[in-house]
Chains A and B, each alone.
Chain A
Amino acid sequence: MSEHLDLSQVNVDELPVVPNPLLKLEGATIQFGGLIAVNQVSFEIMPGDLFGLIGPNGAGKTTCFNLITGVYKPTGGSIKFEGNEIAGFNPSKIARAGICRTFQNIRLFGALSALENVMVGGYLRHKTSLLSGLALWPSAIRETEELKEQAMQLLEVVNLTDVAHARARDLPYGKQRRLEIARAMATNPRLILLDEPAAGMNPQEKEELKEVVLRIRDEFGKTVLLIEHDMKFVMGLCEKIVVLDHGEEIAAGPPSEIRSNPKVIEAYLGEPV
């Protein structure tokens, strides 16, 4: 499988040099007791990709995200970000390295306002010391103002300026999902992972979300890796897709190929075709 992917990368003839992959999984594996949730998964994401990760329920997609972001330590294989091994790093270090994510079961800071949630995202770029904060020094005040401004801009991108001061917990589901994206964007990552961003949204909201994701990629120049169950959404948005089933990678390639891949159809429909 990984060979196949490599070849497709090399095919980009116009480029004088083959670009280095932004994220590279090689045989990433994790085992929970007797269950191998992710088994020898390998793929590469190039800078600027809009990459999809799909598979039936329990396939190991979220677990894959957890491996990449350091929530779980892989029991085998390697994960390289910009050529550096990051497997087993702690999550905050990985976030600082430039990978940020959203969560399938939304994990906002419930009691904080939408704006404050996004400001937390910007926290890792803080330059002033805690001491200046405790003393309410001008530099800390200024930095807070800056963070607030940036957060406001991001809220605009996801269309949430009107609820900036509402408590995150009180927002409707769809807005919470978009708020999570804004929060992740605020860390200014190079790679952003979205775990089922369209779950629970109506068709119109999904269309809006599509716009947002495209903007993130095209306007902000982020690389996007997303998990989604809505095939129409994924196929219409992603340029490359990897399919997992029972923790194993069963297919990879552009949407057109995936759509007609018998293994994928079998995995989803549960019977050989």
Chain B
Amino acid sequence: MNLGKFFAVRGFSVAVAILGCLALDYAAQTYLQDYIVRLVFLAGIYITLAVSLNLINGITGQFSIGHAAFYMVGAYTGGTLTKFFYDASPLGAVAWLIAMILAGAALAGVAGLLVGLPSLRLRGDYLAIVTLGFGEIIRIIVINQPELGGSSGLGFAPKVQGLWLVWLLAVICVAVCRNLLKTSHGLAFLAVREDEVAAQAMGINLTKTKVTAFVIGAAFAGAAGALLAMNEGYINPDLFKMDVSFLILTMVVLGGAGSITGSVLAALTLFAIPELPRLLKIDVSLAYLIGLTAGAIGFVSLLRHHQQRYHGPKAKGRMITVATVVGVPLAGLGLGWLLHTFTYLSDQTYELNNLRYVILAVTLIVVMLLRPEGVMGHHEFSWKWVQKVLTGRKPVAEESIS
């Protein structure tokens, strides 16, 4: 390998990443409405959260479902330090923000270490409930600390937005995970996911690998937390409830556990689904609400039943895609239209905005029924892959290392 060329390319890509994020920041501040800027901000946060959980869950195979805990540790680290020490510090706002990101990452990393250790003894669902419980315990402890603002939350100044830092963090997080999978180091993590006994027999240190995954994943989540706190200037324990953990987990699974691009796509989509209806001012009648919900879930579910009965559990094919794309809207609208004849059902209407989470839930169920391995499966996004999916050919095993 030509070292000179390597460093030239590396320097260039780092520069592009930083400048790109700065440009995004500038463009967003100049041209977008405030609340859209906030969405862009949160999108970066959620990408980081999803990809970092994917490292633990999808790549290393540790069933951790309480990621919001690390996010919270990062946020409260940033918030508390700012509240008590910012005035005394000689740092400027941006330097302070960077310091807070590092501090949040460090403390969350320690939390990751604490949660990672039980993963040596606990498997699967037992580990899942422990990680979830860890989040709840931290949350309840914070609620009971008046110094941390208790349940009413912690306010502090200054607010520093750092949109570019959020996106830079997301880029770094994606890059780190991708790099890991590009080198043989990543193989150790994947091997632990695939078979712990065999991995150990190959000389892989389980403790080290699992705990490393937890620490890195948690640190990224902590950094994201610190950024969130600094952006809002106010945090409270409700921002880190179990639902948030579930949302992050859903992003990972929906995108395809182990697929980094999958996590990114799912993070953006799931994050957008509840936000888009805000922009559209549409009223939906109860008839169509029930029709679309029941139609979509019912149709896909019956399709899968049929398929499993006649083609085996793992059957796939282009026909399914076609049947779904045609059938779901047809079944949903048809049922809605039928129900619409009942005046009780057609008179009652809801704003689309109020149906955000119903839409999210239905999407979740339908996607999982159709593609249980996640949208991307174990694959990374590539045009070759898109081609294969569209033509309905069975994806041939691809090399994840190139």
Interface residues, chain A, with chain B CB atoms under 8 Å away: 69, 71, 90-92, 95-96, 100-101, 103, 107-113, 115-116, 119-124, 126, 128, 130, 133-136, 138, 140-144, 147-148, 165-167, 170, 183-184, 187
Contact = CB atoms under 8 A, between A and B. Distances in A.
Which residue among A111, A128, A135, A166 has the maximum number of chain B CB atoms within 10 Å of its CB?
Answer: A111
Interface stretch (B125-133, B187-195, B232-240, B355-363): B187-195
Contacts of A92: 200-206
B182 interface: yes
B204 A124 contact: yes
A244 B220 CA distance: 53
A contacts with B: majority SS = helix
B200 A165 contact: no
A197 B137 CA distance: 50
Given A108-B195, A140-B184, A143-B184, 7 more contacts: A108-B194, A112-B194, A120-B190, A121-B202, A123-B191, A142-B1, A167-B397
27 contacts: A71-B201, A91-B197, A95-B201, A96-B203, A103-B198, A109-B195, A110-B195, A111-B258, A112-B187, A112-B190, A116-B190, A116-B401, A120-B204, A121-B202, A122-B184, A126-B185, A128-B185, A134-B179, A136-B175, A136-B183, A140-B183, A144-B401, A147-B184, A148-B184, A165-B397, A170-B397, A187-B203
Query: Which 9 residue pairs of A and B lie closest in terms of their CB atoms, listed nearest first?
Result: A124-B203, A133-B185, A95-B203, A109-B194, A167-B397, A136-B179, A91-B200, A107-B198, A133-B183
B197 A130 contact: no
A184 to B, nearest CB: 8
Contacts of A96: 203
A167 B396 CA distance: 8
A166 B195 contact: no
A111 B200 contact: no
B383 interface: no
Contacts of A138: 1, 3, 6
Contacts of A143: 183-184
A136 B201 CA distance: 27
A112 B191 contact: yes
A133 B399 contact: no
Given A109-B190, A109-B191, A115 B399 contact: yes
B218 to A, nearest CB: 15
B contacts with A: majority SS = helix
Contacts of A167: 397
Nearest to B186: A133
Interface in B166-224: 175-176, 179-180, 182-188, 190-191, 194-195, 197-206, 212, 216
Interface residues of B, number: 37
A165 B198 contact: no
Interface string B332-361: 000000000000000000000000000000
B203 A111 contact: no
Given A119-B187, A140-B183, A110 B203 contact: no
Given A138-B1, A138-B3, A165-B399, A116 B187 contact: yes
Nearest to B177: A134
Which residue among A122, A136, A141 has the maximum number of chain B CB atoms within 10 Å of its CB?
Answer: A136
B67 interface: no
Nearest to B400: A116
B139 interface: no
Interface string B378-391: 10000000000000
B118 to A, nearest CB: 18
A123 B185 CA distance: 8
Contacts of B190: 109, 111-112, 116, 120
A108 B197 CA distance: 10
Contacts of B401: 116, 119, 144, 148
Interface in B136-189: 175-176, 179-180, 182-188
A100 B201 CA distance: 7
Contact of A120 (B175, B180, B202): B202
A120 B201 contact: no
B202 A133 contact: no
A135 B194 CA distance: 24
B202 A124 contact: yes
A133 B203 contact: no
Contacts of A69: 201
B180 A123 contact: no
A119 B182 CA distance: 13
B198 A95 contact: no
Nearest to A115: B399
A123 B212 contact: no
A134 B202 contact: no
